[in-house]
């Protein structure tokens, strides 16, 4: 495999872009080597600057749920582009996209579009603080909610990949208003609320954590962790923010809420990724009385030059148009088939592993024991992952370059694509085993 052109691009990039990338995990810092610079993608396949083709299991970290350059999505964007790139004024696509989300997820009565998941969680926090007139926010270790100052402590995703405790540049005052608890620890949540319930504006959680690998919220006595959080927060006059940026419209047609949203509701929800079909979109929504606190009707300021951009809403709407029941069955089949192939190859090679799922979403941990917390996730064999990752890449399969990320399939991951992955897996599993 030649990598000369990617190497040349990476060298040029490092001269003008910090670490050569515009988002940290892309730099391959934790796995080493040169990231392929991608020049095109179609369906489940990527092509890099050197002309090497890869089966993609990253899917731009979630948005490309229908596969790359999906004809319906590309045509919708092309058509929208012909009508104007940005108006900075209301346009019909915003209304249709909000209607689509409101129709799929019952607790969303109103939705506002932003440009990223980060903006969505940042804005939801502001609404929650305004609504409760309280400052403290509770988050869980290993959950990632974007690079919002208040939410970077013990975050998953790139913060986990690079083993960072949080981020420099976050003020002590901001950090003081964020309480980080172990994921799934009901006793810790109860103790915190017993002591400081009156200060807490909101609990924010990933609907199913997927940024420390996938850690589904478990049931105890028939009550799921999300419902427990909603009940505990509400009893203290606090809100629950359910972050569905990653799980939304991927874990199921109605997001993770479609899987465990029974008998409870979050107050605010955040979205991103799939709802933009590959263009920059995020959204936050929820109870009408809370969302109506936003300016201009209410006192909470929030705005965006490009928010509700016509290209982004066209891509999102075309993606939703492709996400019918059949699409979720296809995703589910691809996800399951891949999980089985991985389990077989790892078992045959003697690689300790556990595969965890949240609907059609899954990840592979390089350890034997189930992962329930960030501490568990960190106690995996990341060196084995690195060997596996490079063997897969060499064999033409592009995995997330971190042991802490979910693997993303699309409706374009058909049998032919799965066979290509299957052909590489046994040797890659053996490489992982050679410690
Ligand atoms: N929330 C979750 C659960 C995410 O997975 C992410 C991104 O991976 C974000 C928020 C931040 O979204 P963005 O990268 O679009 O800012």
Candidates 315, 272, 328; CA nearest to 72 is 315
| Atom number, ligand 1, closest to the C-alpha of residue 117 | 12
CA angle (176, 182, 184) in 5-degree steps: 130
Catalytic residues: 144, 243, 273
- State residue 237's pLDDT score: 98
Q: Which residue of 272, 312, 402 sits with most ligand 1 atoms within 8 Å of its CB, as the best mutation to test the pocket?
A: 272
- State residue 165's pLDDT score: 66
**DSSP sequence for 70-125:** -HHHHHHHHHHHHT-S--SS--HHHHHHHHHHHHH-TT-SEEEEESSHHHHHHHHH
Structure tokens at 337: 């088939």
Tell me how crowded residue 105 is: count the other CB atoms within 10 A of its CB. Answer: 26
User: What SS3 class is residue 395?
Assistant: coil
Rounded to the nearest angstrom, the distance between the alpha carbon of 221 and the centre of ligand 1 is 31
Q: Which helix (H) or strand (E) holds 290?
A: helix 288-291
Structure tokens at 165: 């405790």
Rounded to the nearest angstrom, the distance between the alpha carbon of 371 and the centre of ligand 1 is 21
Spatial distance between the Cα atoms of 74 and 374, rounded to a whole number of angstroms: 38
Candidates 135, 154, 156, 100; CA nearest to 277 is 100
121 lines ligand 1 (CB under 6 A): yes
| Atom number, ligand 1, closest to the C-alpha of residue 280 | 15
- State residue 168's pLDDT score: 86
The list of the chain residues with pLDDT below 50 reads none
Is-contact 118 146, C-beta < 8 A? Answer: yes
- State residue 239's pLDDT score: 98
116 lines ligand 1 (CB under 6 A): yes
Structure tokens at 349: 């090679």
- State residue 399's pLDDT score: 98
Handedness of CA 251, 252, 256, 262 (dihedral sign): negative
256 lines ligand 1 (CB under 6 A): no
Q: Which helix (H) or strand (E) holds 63?
A: none
Q: pLDDT digit string (tens) for 312-347? A: 999 999 999 999 999 999 999 999 999 999 999 999
Atom 1 of ligand 1: nearest residue by CA position: 145
Q: Which helix (H) or strand (E) holds 316?
A: helix 310-322
Instruction: Give the chain's mean pLDDT.
Output: 96
- State residue 71's pLDDT score: 98
pTM recorded for the entire structure: 0.97
61 lines ligand 1 (CB under 6 A): yes
- State residue 163's pLDDT score: 65
Rounded to the nearest angstrom, the distance between the alpha carbon of 351 and the centre of ligand 1 is 30
Q: pLDDT digit string (tens) for 209-232? A: 999 999 999 998 889 999 999 999
211 lines ligand 1 (CB under 6 A): yes
| Atom number, ligand 1, closest to the C-alpha of residue 121 | 10
- State residue 377's pLDDT score: 97
| Atom number, ligand 1, closest to the C-alpha of residue 119 | 16
159 lines ligand 1 (CB under 6 A): no
- State residue 252's pLDDT score: 94
CB contact set of 234 (below 8 Å; sequence gap of 6+) = 240
Is-contact 398 56, C-beta < 8 A? Answer: yes
Spatial distance between the Cα atoms of 295 and 257, rounded to a whole number of angstroms: 28
């Amino acid at each position: 495999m030649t990598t000369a052109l990617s190497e040349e691009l990476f060298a040029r990039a490092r001269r003008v872009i910090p670490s050569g990338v515009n988002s940290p995990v892309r730099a391959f810092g934790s796995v080493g080597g040169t990231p392929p610079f991608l020049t095109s993608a179609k369906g489940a396949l990527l092509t890099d600057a050197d002309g090497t083709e890869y089966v993609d299991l990253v899917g731009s970290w979630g948005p490309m749920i229908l596969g790359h350059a999906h004809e319906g999505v590309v045509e919708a964007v092309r058509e929208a582009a012909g009508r104007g790139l940005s108006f900075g004024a209301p346009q019909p696509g915003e209304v249709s996209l909000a209607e689509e989300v409101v129709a799929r997820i019952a607790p969303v009565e109103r939705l506002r579009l932003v440009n990223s998941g980060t903006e969505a969680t940042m804005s939801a926090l502001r609404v929650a603080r305004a609504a409760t007139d309280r400052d403290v926010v509770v988050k869980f270790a290993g959950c990632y909610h974007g690079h919002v100052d208040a939410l970077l402590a013990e975050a998953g995703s790139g913060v986990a990949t690079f083993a960072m405790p949080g981020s420099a540049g976050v003020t002590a005052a901001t950090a003081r208003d964020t309480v980080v608890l172990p994921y799934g620890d009901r006793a810790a949540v109860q103790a915190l609320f017993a002591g400081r319930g009156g200060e807490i504006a909101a609990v924010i959680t990933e609907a199913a954590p997927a940024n420390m690998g996938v850690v589904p919220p478990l049931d105890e006595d028939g009550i799921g962790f999300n419902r427990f959080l909603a009940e505990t927060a509400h009893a203290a006059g606090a809100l629950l923010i359910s972050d569905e940026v990653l799980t939304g419209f991927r874990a199921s047609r109605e997001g993770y809420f479609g899987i465990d949203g029974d008998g409870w509701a979050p107050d605010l929800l955040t979205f991103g990724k799939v709802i933009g079909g590959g263009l920059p979109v995020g959204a936050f929504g929820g109870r009408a009385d809370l969302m109506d606190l936003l300016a201009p009707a209410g006192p909470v300021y929030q705005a965006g030059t490009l928010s509700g951009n016509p290209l982004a809403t066209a891509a999102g709407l075309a993606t939703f148009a492709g996400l019918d029941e059949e699409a979720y069955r296809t995703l589910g089949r691809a996800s399951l088939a891949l999980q089985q192939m991985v389990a077989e190859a790892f078992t045959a090679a003697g690689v300790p592993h556990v595969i965890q799922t949240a609907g059609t979403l899954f990840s592979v941990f390089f350890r034997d024991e189930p992962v329930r917390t960030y501490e568990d996730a960190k106690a995996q064999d990341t060196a084995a992952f690195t060997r596996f990752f490079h063997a897969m890449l060499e064999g033409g399969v592009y995995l997330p370059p971190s042991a802490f990320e979910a693997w993303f399939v699309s409706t374009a991951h058909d049998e032919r694509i799965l066979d290509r992955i299957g052909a590489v897996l046994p040797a890659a599993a053996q490489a992982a085993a050679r410690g």
